[in-house]
Amino acid sequence: MTIPKNHKPALGVCYYPEHWPEAMWGDDATRMVAMGLSWVRIGEFAWSRIEPQPSEFRWDWLDRAIQTLGDAGLKIIMSTPTATPPRWMVDRYPDMVAWDRHGRPRGFGSRRHYDFSHAEYREECVRITTILGERYGRNPHVHAWQLDNEYGCHDTTLSYSPVARAAFQDWLRDKYKSVAALNDRWGNVFWSMDYQRFDQIELPNLTVTEPNPAHAMDFRRFASSQVVAFNAAQEAALRPLTDAPLLHNYMGRVTDFDHFAVGANLDIATWDSYPLGFLEDRSDRDVDFKRDHRRCGDPDFQAFHHDLYRAVGKGRWWVMEQQPGPVNWAPHNPEPAPGMVRLWALEAIAHGAEVVCFFRWRQAPFAQEQNHAGLLRPDGKLSEGGDEVAALANELAGLPNLSIKAARTAIVFDYASQWAWEVQPQDAQFDYFRLVYDLYCGLRRAGHSVDILPPTTTDFGDRDRIFIPGLFAWPQALRAAVYGFSGEVVMGPRTGSRTDDFKFPMTLPPGLAGLKVTAVETLRADAHVTLQDGGMIQIWRERIESTWDVVEADLDGRSVRLSNGHLIYWAGWPDAAALDRWLGGTASDARHRETVSGATSIDYMTASFSVSP
């Protein structure tokens, strides 16, 4: 994953020529370039204007838009428009829409109204991708291609439609070959859940009580595989038609498909960084934190995703949509503090972003996102965010080329573990993302830069320390890498606590020699377990039998931390105080030190960014 990099950070913007009179395009393009933007993304929602009726194409406007933008000096990111199938598509394939977990079809009238398992729609996507690739794949102004947009947004990965059910049954048939094998590996004997034929297997929604976790887990794997296959089909169609890099634009805290697997076929990972919206809408932070950070966002939330998508992009990653002012979709939508738009972009660059694009050029005066700020106000004047971006572009022009290097510390992040512990949380508070994110924040407080690694990692390189918290089931190669590593490996809680078939290991977790988790208890939010030297165990607590060295015990005398050579095991979920102690304290001078050469300090609360001498 450590790809040598030497890049000059650049800025860009999302633009929708189809939203504006053609007479405005030229001036818009000129102003973009004048502001210091070099990239422009177009086309991801334009299907109804490209192909207003089946096989009836309108190329003229798009040809001219590309020409106008390119002629002004902008590099174009062209998008496949498959996130918004036109209305006639839904008429043609009424069963193409996804069904929600209540068994209701999700209608036309917004976006992402398709089921990843729908074979004919997937073919339609290949068709439009091919046609677009043929027309613009070698266009000199097109420097990158985005496939679809924001897979999984609006809870669209999981569908409970008849189409999905049939595809799931096929997927099971392919995986298990015989229904007897499936019954055995799922443990269907448990409640007389044995099947006689694959076509009897329903999707795991609307059961009387919880379905078999192995059933639910396979459905989650299946659903993720459908996203991967959907993306791969477009990639395969487009690849021969262009030399430009292919990318997908991901969201924040979407964990219901395996981004590493989608990213495997692509050249760059990009994501949508909405610091204020995400703080209100997708954060586990408490109300005090949310109030105090309401105008700057949670610094670590962006940093975590920057590091995650750097891994998904195998070193190459961008921000495709950055919030330039208030958004329209969170419960509360404040303005960023002065300087934050600049700072967010610099934070991304410090984490290795090659490009930071802002969403969007001009605030849209119609439809769903009228209250979403742009770089321009509806009346065409620069917004506050626009002012900051213009200044930032000047500032960036003076930066040297940047490189990223591997961090000394890494965390293994495993999408399947998120699914597994959603399927079987054992405590209402248990969430894999939160477990990993708590750790990430502790590492940042301690002054560490962090790499995220996929569970397919086979070699940890020359790093100092690897963390593998909460891993559902061990890939053999990962466990081999753990044993073969020269640095420190910190595991637990809950690591290795199931087999790949979602069974409890008869020899007890975590699957490490000399250590057994003999029992688990989960803890109310008002009943943590206090530690003598400070901090507490929260949510999850394990009982250990072991030949390892006890590093720390709780007041009940039960082991909390254990070690065995380079292996360390944490037998509970530490709160922030315990975590800071375990990680070596907080490093106030190193807060938000970044991986990229040059950037040494970012202070969100004062919107300051320092470059080391």
Binding residues, by number, are 111, 149, 329
| CB-count exposure of residue 304 (10 Å: 0-12, 13-18, 19+) | buried
Query: Least CB distance from residue 263 to a copy of itself, whole Å?
Result: 24
Residue 22 makes contact with a copy of itself by CB under 8 A? no
Residues 409-438: x/- map of binding to a copy of itself (CB under 8 A)? Answer: ---------------x-xxxx---------
Residue 530 makes contact with a copy of itself by CB under 8 A? no
Indicate which single residue of 391, 505, 581, 587 sits in contact with a copy of itself (rule: CB under 8 A). 505
The Cα 558–Cα 578 span in angstroms is: 16
Two structure tokens written together for 483: 């044993």
DSSP per position, 30-45: HHHHHHT--EEEE-TT
Indicate which single residue of 5, 7, 19, 479 sits in contact with a copy of itself (rule: CB under 8 A). 19
Indicate which single residue of 57, 190, 289, 483 sits in contact with a copy of itself (rule: CB under 8 A). 190
The Cα 551–Cα 488 span in angstroms is: 14
The Cα 147–Cα 238 span in angstroms is: 9
226-285: contacts with a copy of itself (CB under 8 A): 280
Nearer to a copy of itself, 479 or 543 (CB): 543
Query: Least CB distance from residue 321 to a copy of itself, whole Å?
Result: 15
3-state secondary structure labels for all residues of 241-256: HCCCCEEEEECCCCCC
Query: Least CB distance from residue 245 to a copy of itself, whole Å?
Result: 25
Nearer to a copy of itself, 46 or 237 (CB): 46
Residue 196 makes contact with a copy of itself by CB under 8 A? yes
Nearer to a copy of itself, 454 or 492 (CB): 492
Residue 36 backbone zone (phi > 0: left; psi -120 to 50: alpha; other: beta): left
Residue 514 makes contact with a copy of itself by CB under 8 A? no
Q: Site for a copy of itself (CB under 8 A): how many residues? A: 111
Residue 162 makes contact with a copy of itself by CB under 8 A? no
Residue 373 makes contact with a copy of itself by CB under 8 A? yes
Residue 45 makes contact with a copy of itself by CB under 8 A? yes
Two structure tokens written together for 381: 């004047």
The Cα 477–Cα 412 span in angstroms is: 13
- In the residue annotation, 384 being an active-site residue is answered as no
Judged by CB under 8 A, which stretch of 79-87, 168-176, 261-269, 303-311 contacts a copy of itself?
A: 79-87
Nearer to a copy of itself, 372 or 448 (CB): 372
R_g of the chain, CA atoms, integer Å: 25
Query: Least CB distance from residue 280 to a copy of itself, whole Å?
Result: 8
Two structure tokens written together for 49: 């204007």
Q: Which helix (H) or strand (E) holds 538?
A: strand 536-546
- In the residue annotation, 388 being an active-site residue is answered as no
Query: Least CB distance from residue 191 to a copy of itself, whole Å?
Result: 4
Indicate which single residue of 156, 224, 249, 418 sits in contact with a copy of itself (rule: CB under 8 A). 156
Name residue 128's amino acid. Answer: I
Nearer to a copy of itself, 25 or 413 (CB): 25
The Cα 350–Cα 329 span in angstroms is: 28
Residue 518 makes contact with a copy of itself by CB under 8 A? yes
Residue 200 makes contact with a copy of itself by CB under 8 A? yes
Alpha-carbon distances, residue 27 vs 17, 35, 140, 269, 525 (angstroms) = 12, 12, 21, 30, 57
Judged by CB under 8 A, which stretch of 2-10, 369-377, 454-462, 567-575 contacts a copy of itself?
A: 369-377
Residue 75 three-state SS: strand
The Cα 564–Cα 545 span in angstroms is: 13
Comparing CA positions, the residue from 349, 135, 126, 94 lying closest to residue 232 is 126
Indicate which single residue of 23, 397, 506, 513 sits in contact with a copy of itself (rule: CB under 8 A). 506
Indicate which single residue of 8, 127, 138, 524 sits in contact with a copy of itself (rule: CB under 8 A). 524
Catalytic residue of the set 124, 235, 321, 594? 321
Indicate which single residue of 12, 105, 263, 574 sits in contact with a copy of itself (rule: CB under 8 A). 105
CB 543 within 8 A of CB 515: no
Nearer to a copy of itself, 331 or 613 (CB): 331
Expressed in angstroms, the distance from the first to the final Cα of the chain is 28
3-state secondary structure labels for all residues of 301-319: HHHHHHHHHHHHCCCCEEE
Query: Least CB distance from residue 48 to a copy of itself, whole Å?
Result: 4
Comparing CA positions, the residue from 508, 498, 434 lying closest to residue 471 is 498
What residues are annotated to the active site?
150, 321
